[in-house]
């Protein structure tokens, strides 16, 4: 027995730079609990290494991978850390170095001996993959009795299985990981039960039984000291609480906040759970019968392997018959009303298959359950989950051939050699090499997409690798920081599969790159995949695919949530247009005068940063380099001109001249002191002068009520400032008239001593630049003005930096689901029922697969030319507004001015050929207008 351990840096304090995005998913406390957990993963074929990769990236204390087997050709179909030179060597030891390199904070070990009870006792979580049912029962019983969390994960071809047992009692500290809901109070009645009415700008979101606490209530102050109160929802804006009749009269204000309650979950050991069909988690309700059947079929499969010492042969009818007989025997006890015999046969036909996308899906799910087991965060699976993608199989009868000792044997066992050759000829365009992009490239390499002489993968990403990427973009290592994502990701994919034909670009996909990604480029593609982090880029790529009639795979994640979409020309709807009405969700008046949430003060602080350190310096540089800048600015209106030109003048004139340009460190301190006084005292005093605290509206109601918090000015403590600092007025830039300011800017001497400024782009992830320090301080000071609870740096960074929460588990699962749809696209599935749109939330085991929507269809009749009667053109496309564009195009073709005299002759004349070409181009123009019509 070989037991090899690689020493790594032990985790102490949380490495926020590395786990930045994940911390917004699990939180600091859950992260600390994970950092104390040791995990054993038994079996290191494709599924085992997928789980190990995800768990190591997530940051537990230690991971031990156990495997007694040697590498064979079929392993290369899905085990991304094994290479051809590893054939005949132990899978665990061959993978150890690359697993260790994923996260320096995780101790990674390899165990090549058999599993034993003594070994299991060293771990808080034990995961079995590629295991026998006997081992599952034996070790499951042992773990259950010793308080060890126990997970079984398995994939066979296009079917997967997951089982969890976290013991007799397992405490869930946070059901879903969402931020506690809160609402602002409009009024509270004094009765039994008291009724709370919330401000009607946003639904409170509470349900019956939710427990809440009150704060900042004025008048009925007794509520502020009451512990969590259980509520009964009356509607979206009101709910009742206990008896308030003895409390003081409610006056104004107050916030009600949800208090999350822990709860206990009970589990059965695997032996008992096998007999309890109610423990099956049914997420795809269209497959209830199938998944009940698969519960028996997997047990029958274990019996088959135990008896025959092998899995059923690919597409063997006799083996399928034998497996089905065993399932029927098991059903004599289970008493299922309906057996899905076709599913049993397909499981038998494909059981030898080992598919990277299936392992990615089940591996992502299983790793997220490990996160739950280690942290107490999220709701665990109770207790069985089955997943299948049998709709990936060919729609028509087919003839399959066996593998011939290649790296794709695990895939050929399911789809055959001809399909493998087709995969290798594919030409695909991957946009984005971040988290999902890395996972897609891994899957592409393993399945052999574009790995033939005629194949090609083009990947583009304009970004460079940062340290915060390493937690989930697993193709990158610390030595790659600062290098282009696309190049490093392409290199890593080629290392997994040396046959990969892959080209890396660093272009942003937008109108500026149309010279590269033009008609000829897209017409040479078989499809595209979107691995993007913003809606605008998705919409743009979707438009290009619609225009050029190319299939699109699209996926995205938000913490534990994920979605996938497949777009098949003329069969499914497209991604569509950006429905968001505004990038800034907060009204300007709220940010400027009436903030009531920390999000408002953080956006205000971010705007302050942009104005002071980016926009004003940019305006100064324009003034110095562009003679027409002042006149153009004046044309924008007096208010904007005063603000812009005043900022330019103040930035070019030193404090002695009445401006704000510092010439020394003391000047910088003085500028900051004056800015503080303006923002947190003078501006607030001015607002209260216009709207005093006792102001009432025309209807007699208090002005400062509901979402309008009455502010108070802050007083600067001089003890915190050096006695040498002097307050200086900021000059009369804000008071001068526009003509006076224009005259000052016209002075030739102003530009003589002026210097170019260096605008700063807000960068949230560099802790040495003090950008976040400024935003946090500015936001919390303004929050103090309005009695809004302050936010810590981590919370502020997430909000102000608009950070998208991310975790490796969800990313892996989403990429796997996208690649299952890729199988269907490459085969050319014609039935919309074969395709799936997926929505998942791994935090609560919400997993829904649905059939994509069809595109809207229109029949457009053209009667302007007799030759077109009764010609009907059926438009099966993506947007209603495009019809008018097509009408214009066809009417042009029908006009006497159109060369080629369209639709006059049906013979293959040169005119008809030219007509057809013009019709093609008009159809492209028709599609191109997608984003300009609705």
- By annotation, the residues acting in catalysis are 589
Please spell the DSSP secondary structure of 160-201, one letter per residue: EEEEEE--S-EEESBSS-PPPPEEEEEEE--SSS-EEEE-TT
Give kind and range of the element (H or E) at residue 151: strand 149-156
Under 8 Å between Cβ of 460 and 505:
yes
**Unique residue bearing structure tokens 């906040």:** 257
**Unique residue bearing structure tokens 């053109």:** 873
What is the spatial distance between Cα 191 and Cα 251, in angstroms, rounded to a whole number? Answer: 15
What is the spatial distance between Cα 421 and Cα 423, in angstroms, rounded to a whole number? Answer: 5
What is the spatial distance between Cα 927 and Cα 21, in angstroms, rounded to a whole number? Answer: 38
Under 8 Å between Cβ of 375 and 840:
no
What is the spatial distance between Cα 685 and Cα 672, in angstroms, rounded to a whole number? Answer: 19
Question: Sign of torsion, CA 372 375 378 383?
Answer: positive
Distances in Å between the alpha carbon of 596 and those of 322, 416, 539, 822? 68, 62, 33, 47
What is the spatial distance between Cα 457 and Cα 503, in angstroms, rounded to a whole number? Answer: 6
Q: 174-199: b or e for each residue (b if 16 or more CB lie within 10 Å)? A: beebeeebbbbbbbbbbeeebbbbbb
Long-range contacts of 518-524 (CB under 8 A, 24+ apart): 519/548, 519/924, 521/429, 522/429, 522/547, 522/548, 522/550, 523/548, 524/427
Cis, bond preceding 886 (omega within 30 deg of 0): no
What is the spatial distance between Cα 241 and Cα 232, in angstroms, rounded to a whole number? Answer: 7
Give kind and range of the element (H or E) at residue 42: strand 38-42
Q: What is the DSSP secondary structure assignment for residue 70, as one 8-state letter?
A: B
Under 8 Å between Cβ of 45 and 311:
no
**Unique residue bearing structure tokens 């947007």:** 879
Distances in Å between the alpha carbon of 804 and those of 31, 90, 465, 597, 638? 18, 39, 17, 20, 39
Minimal CA–CA distance to 546: which of 230, 885, 835, 776?
Answer: 885
Number of Cβ within a 10 Å radius of residue 853? 11
Under 8 Å between Cβ of 445 and 77:
no
- Strand 502-505 with 456-460, pairing: parallel
Task: Please report, in angstroms and rounded to a whole number, the separation of the first and last CA atoms in the chain.
Answer: 67
Q: What is the DSSP secondary structure assignment for residue 8, as one 8-state letter?
A: -
Composition of the chain by helix, strand, coil, percent to 5:
45, 15, 40
Give kind and range of the element (H or E) at residue 214: strand 211-215
What is the spatial distance between Cα 490 and Cα 501, in angstroms, rounded to a whole number? Answer: 9
Q: What is the DSSP secondary structure assignment for residue 614, as one 8-state letter?
A: I
List the beta strands (DSSP E) in 421-580.
427-431, 456-460, 502-505, 527-530, 551-558, 561-567
Taking the CA atoms of the chain, what radius of gyration do you get in angstroms? 32
- Token pair, residue 704, equals 């400062």
């Amino acid at each position: 027995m070989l037991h090899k351990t690689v020493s790594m840096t032990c985790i102490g304090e949380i490495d926020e730079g590395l786990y930045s995005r994940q911390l917004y998913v699990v939180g600091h406390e859950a992260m600390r609990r994970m950092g104390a957990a040791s995990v054993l993963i038994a079996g290191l074929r494709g599924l085992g290494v997928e789980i190990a990769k995800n768990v190591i990236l997530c940051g537990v204390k230690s991971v031990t991978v156990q495997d007694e087997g040697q590498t064979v050709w079929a392993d290369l179909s899905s085990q991304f850390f094994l290479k051809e030179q590893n054939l005949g060597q132990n899978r665990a030891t061959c993978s150890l170095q690359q697993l260790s390199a994923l996260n320096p904070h995780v101790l990674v070990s390899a165990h090549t001996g058999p599993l034993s009870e003594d070994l299991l006792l060293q771990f808080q979580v034990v995961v079995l993959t590629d295991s026998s049912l006997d081992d599952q029962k034996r070790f499951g019983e042992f773990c259950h009795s010793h308080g060890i969390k126990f997970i079984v994960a398995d994939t066979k071809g296009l079917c997967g299985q997951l089982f969890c047992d976290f013991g007799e009692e397992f405490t869930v500290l946070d059901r879903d990981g969402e931020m506690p809901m809160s609402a602002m109070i409009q009024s509270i009645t004094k009765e039994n039960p008291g009724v709370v009415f919330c401000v009607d700008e946003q639904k409170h979101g509470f349900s019956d039984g939710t427990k809440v606490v009150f704060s900042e209530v004025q008048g009925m102050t007794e509520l502020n000291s009451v512990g969590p109160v259980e509520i009964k929802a009356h509607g979206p804006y009101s709910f009742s609480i206990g008896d308030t009749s003895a409390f003081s009269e409610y006056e104004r204000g107050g916030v009600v906040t949800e208090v999350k309650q822990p709860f206990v979950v009970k589990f059965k050991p695997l032996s008992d759970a096998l007999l309890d069909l109610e423990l099956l988690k049914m997420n795809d309700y269209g497959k209830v019968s199938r998944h009940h059947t698969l519960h028996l079929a997997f047990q029958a499969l274990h019996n088959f392997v135990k008896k025959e010492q092998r899995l059923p042969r690919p597409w063997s009818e006799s083996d399928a018959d034998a497996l089905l007989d065993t399932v029927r025997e098991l059903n004599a006890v289970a008493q299922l009303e309906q057996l899905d015999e076709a599913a049993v046969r397909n499981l038998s036909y494909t059981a030898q298959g080992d598919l990277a996308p299936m392992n990615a899906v089940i591996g992502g799910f299983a790793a997220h359950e490990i996160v739950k087991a280690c942290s107490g965060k999220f709701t665990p699976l109770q207790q069985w989950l089955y997943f299948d993608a049998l709709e990936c199989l060919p729609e028509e009868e087919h003839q399959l051939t066996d593998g011939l000792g290649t790296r794709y044997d695990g895939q050929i066992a399911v789809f055959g050699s001809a399909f493998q050759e087709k995969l290798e000829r594919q030409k695909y365009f991957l946009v984005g090499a971040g988290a999902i992009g890395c996972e897609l490239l891994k899957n592409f390499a393993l399945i052999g997409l574009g790995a033939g002489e005629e194949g090609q993968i083009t990947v583009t990403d304009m970004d460079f690798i940062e340290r915060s990427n390493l937690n989930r973009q697993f193709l990158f290592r610390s030595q790659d920081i600062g290098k282009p994502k696309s190049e490093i990701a392409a290199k890593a994919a080629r290392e997994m599969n040396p046959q990969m034909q892959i080209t890396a670009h660093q272009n942003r996909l937008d109108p500026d790159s149309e010279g590269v990604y033009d008609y000829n480029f897209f017409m040479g593609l078989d499809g595209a995949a979107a691995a993007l982090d913003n809606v605008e880029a998705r919409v743009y790529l979707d438009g290009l695919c619609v225009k050029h009639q190319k299939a699109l795979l699209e996926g995205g994640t938000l913490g534990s949530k994920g979605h996938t979409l497949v777009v098949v020309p003329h069969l499914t709807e497209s991604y569509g247009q950006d429905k968001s009405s505004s990038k800034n969700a907060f009204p300007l008046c709220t940010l400027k005068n009436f903030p009531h949430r920390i999000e408002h003060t953080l956006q205000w602080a971010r705007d302050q940063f942009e104005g002071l350190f980016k926009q004003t310096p940019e305006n100064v540089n324009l003034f110095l380099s562009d003679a027409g800048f002042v006149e153009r600015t004046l044309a924008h209106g007096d208010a904007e001109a005063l603000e812009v030109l005043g900022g330019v003048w103040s930035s070019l004139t030193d404090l002695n001249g009445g401006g704000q340009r510092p010439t020394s460190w003391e000047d910088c301190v003085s500028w900051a002191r004056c800015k503080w006084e303006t923002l947190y005292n003078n501006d607030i005093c001015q607002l209260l002068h216009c709207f005093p605290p006792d102001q009432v509206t025309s209807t007699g109601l208090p002005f400062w009520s509901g979402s309008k918090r009455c502010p108070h000015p802050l007083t600067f403590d001089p003890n915190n400032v050096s006695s040498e600092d002097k307050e200086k007025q900021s000059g009369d830039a804000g008071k001068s008239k526009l003509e006076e300011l224009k005259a000052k800017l016209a002075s030739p001497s102003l530009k003589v001593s002026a210097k170019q400024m260096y605008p700063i782009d807000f960068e949230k992830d560099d802790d040495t630049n003090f950008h976040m320090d400024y935003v946090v301080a500015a936001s919390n000071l303004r929050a103090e003005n309005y009695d809004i609870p302050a936010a810590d740096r981590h919370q502020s960074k997430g909000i102000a930096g608009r950070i998208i929460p991310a975790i490796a588990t969800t990313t892996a699962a989403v990429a796997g689901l996208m690649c299952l749809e890729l199988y269907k696209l490459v085969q050319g599935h014609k039935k919309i029922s074969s395709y799936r749109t997926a929505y998942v939330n791994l935090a609560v085991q919400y997993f829904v697969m649905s059939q994509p929507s069809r595109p809207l269809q229109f029949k457009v009749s053209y009667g302007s030319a007799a030759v077109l009667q009764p010609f009907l053109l059926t438009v099966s496309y993506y947007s209603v507004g495009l019809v008018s564009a097509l009408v214009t195009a066809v009417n042009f073709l029908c006009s006497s001015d159109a060369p080629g005299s369209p639709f006059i002759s049906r013979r293959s004349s040169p005119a008809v050929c030219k007509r057809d070409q013009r019709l093609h181009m008009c159809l492209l123009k028709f599609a191109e207008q997608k984003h300009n019509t609705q």
